[in-house]
Chain A
């Protein structure tokens, strides 16, 4: 499992560096802009009245824009599930099926390594890659605190990262599960991406239209706390989302154990779980 973990993480290093450094730089820039923004309170208050409330519904409580947590939530955490969701979905959907589609899994599984170890090694590499990227983002937010006065501790900034991480694990594992059900990685990534975007919009629109509230309860992003998390996570929500991620992960594990490994290319619509 160690070899698989190391090799998978090595293969993910481009994504880790790219997403990690890119988002860390964005975070540094955003935190650095907090003081100039806060000093322009009266203009910003006037500006926020101009923005349509339909737009603001997607970015959290605009009334708190000038507080540090409100600022970071609106400028960074509110849309991060969509941005980093792309990484999670692409990595999750390709974790096993990419190698199957390019034909390399056939040879790897002929080596003395069990399917469980292969799955475990790759899953841990995905988890580690996600955590490393989040760590980069966190560093990007806390480093400028050395020269920018912002009323938040390092630990408080870590909490919304945890909320974000759980969402990423959920969508990554959903993509992993779908990649073993649907005929191709492409289709799994597309379906998971559509669900992520749908979740984002349903959660936002539910704040404007009460009729959408029952549907939004099914939306994972309804349980995302970009702003509230700074002062404490909702444990039940975190556990629920984590459990959902684990269910998708366990289903994917079960399907992979029973799967006929393809020699290459995309598969068909045959239901793989019906096989022996």
Chain B
């Protein structure tokens, strides 16, 4: 029997009054995958995640987490899921330890306290202070510990590194990678493209409540537009380059240099350049951030 995906969403719609937050979202995340969910504020990332946990009820569509319907069997799903909300609020009168012990009690005391201590130590989280005296970053660390402490099979993380310093951000990404190595699936939303690029195997881009792209992170970057700055030993005829499908001349200097935009694979361009008196070639690989922005800028014009 084939194992069901860790996360399966089909035709998910959700409206808040007249505002349509989700307009038919389809997603499939395989078990053991790290999946990045990208989109600007208000695109529908948080609404999707909150529907997954049955915190809000979709207008239509189906959801299965680890093969379970969260609306009909919410408790079963939540036993297997670790959740970090985008806006984390914890009773401010708790101490850090008090809050974590309360969360453990909500898990039916089935959490190994020494594992909690290890996580806290790795994130440099002091357990003594009262939560109302903590900075945003330290509260976020509590959020991460509570999401990971019961070794969930599926992690739903909404902006996990928000407000953390770079060292702790890196540690959180390590924890995410380790969770995957231990068999967990990670579904996380983020604004920080570099971290998505660093850990996510696949990404989905959501725009105005619709998924506009689902792809492997690598291939998304590979097939995106990139720029090539070419210098020649002497002025050359650029027509062979212009004739290559997907290649566009952006600017042309004195005939000895040219800035090209390349869509897709570089192979044809490199072959053409090999027949020319090439002096220097610099290519710029776009970051996920540039691709993301491109999606938004281009699609917004189309929309």
Residues of A within 8 A of B (CB): 3-4, 7, 11, 102-104, 106-115, 258, 260-261, 263-264, 268, 270, 275-276
Given contact pairs A270-B17, A275-B57, A276-B59, A110 touches B83 in the complex (Cβ within 8 A) = yes
Given contact pairs A7-B102, A110-B81, A114-B75, A276 touches B53 in the complex (Cβ within 8 A) = no
Max chain A C-beta neighbours (<10 A), residue from B55, B58, B79, B91: B55
Give min CB distance, A274 to chain B, whole Å.
11
On chain B, the residues within 8 Å of A3 by CB distance are: 102, 105-106
Excluding A112-B107, A260-B55, A263-B85, 12 further A-B contacts by CB distance (< 8 Å) are A3-B105, A11-B91, A106-B50, A106-B55, A107-B89, A107-B90, A110-B53, A110-B55, A110-B81, A111-B106, A261-B56, A264-B89
Given contact pairs A7-B102, A104-B91, A107-B90, A112 touches B59 in the complex (Cβ within 8 A) = no
B78 touches A107 (CB 8 A): no
On chain B, the residues within 8 Å of A263 by CB distance are: 46, 50, 85-87
A107 to B49, CA, bound (A): 12
B78 touches A111 (CB 8 A): yes
On chain A, the residues within 8 Å of B56 by CB distance are: 260-261
Give min CB distance, B75 to chain A, whole Å.
5
Given contact pairs A3-B105, A111-B103, A270-B17, A104 touches B81 in the complex (Cβ within 8 A) = no
Considering only CB atoms and an 8 Å cut-off, how many residues of chain B contact the other chain? 32
Give min CB distance, B76 to chain A, whole Å.
8
On chain A, the residues within 8 Å of B86 by CB distance are: 263
23 CB-based A-B contacts, threshold 8 Å: A3-B102, A3-B106, A4-B106, A104-B91, A106-B50, A106-B85, A106-B87, A106-B89, A107-B83, A107-B85, A108-B106, A109-B54, A109-B55, A110-B85, A111-B103, A112-B107, A112-B108, A113-B106, A115-B74, A261-B56, A263-B50, A276-B57, A276-B58
On chain A, the residues within 8 Å of B76 by CB distance are: 112
Give min CB distance, A147 to chain B, whole Å.
41
A106 to B78, CA, bound (A): 13
B88 at the interface (CB under 8 A from A): yes
In chain A, what residue has the closest Cβ to B102? A7
A275 to B56, CA, bound (A): 10
Given contact pairs A7-B102, A110-B53, A102 touches B108 in the complex (Cβ within 8 A) = no
B74 touches A114 (CB 8 A): yes
Partner of B89, one of A11, A104, A109, A260: A104
In chain A, what residue has the closest Cβ to B143? A107
Top 6 nearest A-B pairs (CB, nearest first) are A103-B89, A111-B106, A110-B83, A260-B56, A112-B79, A3-B105
Partner of A104, one of B90, B107, B146: B90
A7 to B102, CA, bound (A): 8
On chain B, the residues within 8 Å of A109 by CB distance are: 53-55
On chain A, the residues within 8 Å of B81 by CB distance are: 110
On chain B, the residues within 8 Å of A261 by CB distance are: 50, 55-56
A268 to B81, CA, bound (A): 30
A104 to B146, CA, bound (A): 14
B57 touches A112 (CB 8 A): no
A260 to B91, CA, bound (A): 21
A110 touches B105 (CB 8 A): no
On chain B, the residues within 8 Å of A4 by CB distance are: 106
On chain A, the residues within 8 Å of B57 by CB distance are: 258, 260, 275-276
A4 to B85, CA, bound (A): 20
On chain A, the residues within 8 Å of B58 by CB distance are: 276
In chain A, what residue has the closest Cβ to B91? A104
Give min CB distance, B138 to chain A, whole Å.
16
A230 to B75, CA, bound (A): 47
A114 to B76, CA, bound (A): 10
A11 to B91, CA, bound (A): 10
Give min CB distance, B159 to chain A, whole Å.
13
On chain B, the residues within 8 Å of A11 by CB distance are: 91
On chain A, the residues within 8 Å of B146 by CB distance are: 107
